[in-house]
Structure 1
Amino acid sequence: MRVAILDDEPAELRRVEQTLRQMAEPGEQPWLLHSFERAEDLLRQLRRETFDLLILDWQLPDLSGLSLLRWTREHMDAPPAAIMLTSRDAESDIVQALNAGADDYVSKPFRPNELKARVAAVLRRHGQQRASAAEVLNFNDLVFDDAEQTVTRAGIPIAMTEREYRLARCLFTNLGRPLSREYLYGRFWSHEEMVSSRPLDTHIYRLRNKLGLTADRGWQLLTIYGYGYRLESVGSVNE
């Protein structure tokens, strides 16, 4: 999980980081937390990076968190989930932020357990929270079974490694969303394995072949040069 936290108070950034570090499930990789004290710095990163969640303060010295939120909703094809975390707690402020596209609104000083619960609820709504072990997902003729970590087509299993399964599931549950290379490496490779760009490219090549990610089957896995990949649905499949 990649989270961007925006607040011009370093102590508040550390407190949010400490709270979110407790959210990773046992066996999961730690969440990747990126903290920003200036909205313009986060805006530059949003133009080149992928995040699952934004936690935004409202009042900042350069650009308000609300203005940044509006930018993501107006300029990004698939904007990340966003929670406003601010000392502004008037009803009119809350309504304004929610109307601008915020998924939730938390007032400062925040209570850690409440923030964790609200983050989890927002991520569930956006399909980013880890699914239950028994979940089965259908995408055209492909069926993902989380309990067995298998993919089948017309009942026939497709041989995949655990990492291939997790990477494929991520692509399918983020249909239409550009995913940066750094985001994918951060989720599915340890730091020690990130020695070159080849492991990701190799896995993408295998998934294209194994899952038949071609237009005649209803899929297009696009390479976004200098950024990463995006999986798109290109119409219904007539079997």
Structure 2
Amino acid sequence: MPDPMNIALLSGQSAHLKTIPDLLARSGFRCNVFVSPRALIQGVSQAAYDMLLIHDELPDTSAVDVIRTVRCARSRDLPIMMLGDGSNEEALVEALDAGADDYLCGPLSARVLIARIGALRRRATGDRQRQGLVVRAGPYQLNSVGRFALLHGERITLTPKEFDLAMLLFSNAGRVLANRRIEQAIWHHELPPLSRALAGLMSRLRKTLRLSLETGISITVVYAHGYRLDIHDDDPMHQPNPLAGKPFALAHP
């Protein structure tokens, strides 16, 4: 029989999260409760946890800062779910951009929480099974183990969301990806109609990876549809590569 899932909960001083440990225990999980970010950071660095649940309102500390600290220490191998009321859209987007994998809005439903934990665990397991994959396009390589990019052999560090977006685009070179599909892949839900989170993330990715005609890879906005990553050849006119849109190169290092 497999060991039960080990979950760390950073609840701060939130009274309505006090029932979660008992709920998780009844569902067959182990749950360690941390009341301060410092204790949590020490805990996840010293013990093996399968998932982190964190309330979005912590006393004297930004939950986003906690996520960033965890990501620096544990990269992407620890799934993080935020718990909150979801009333502040900018805070929600900022948390997801910082590296949170999911955001569960209140009022808290026990059935929904358990279902979302299961879904996030399956997604994380699938990600680990795909580790070792390298995607190549033009002068770029994306390495899913270290979650970094190479441009002409030069290493480029990406934020978690930037890397996820780069993998999605490079894996679908030449294909138009609808905004909804990108949002579901990166944030795991559709963003509000007026949100600028996707456009902002796309702009940051262009800058970080130096995507342009000069490097042979560019991102095209397809009006009213979404985005497309284009691979260009080396001729002076930089015409789109006729192979763009065909299957990308995969390798295992």
Task: Return the TM-score normalized by structure 2.
Answer: 0.45
Task: Return the TM-score normalized by structure 1.
Answer: 0.48
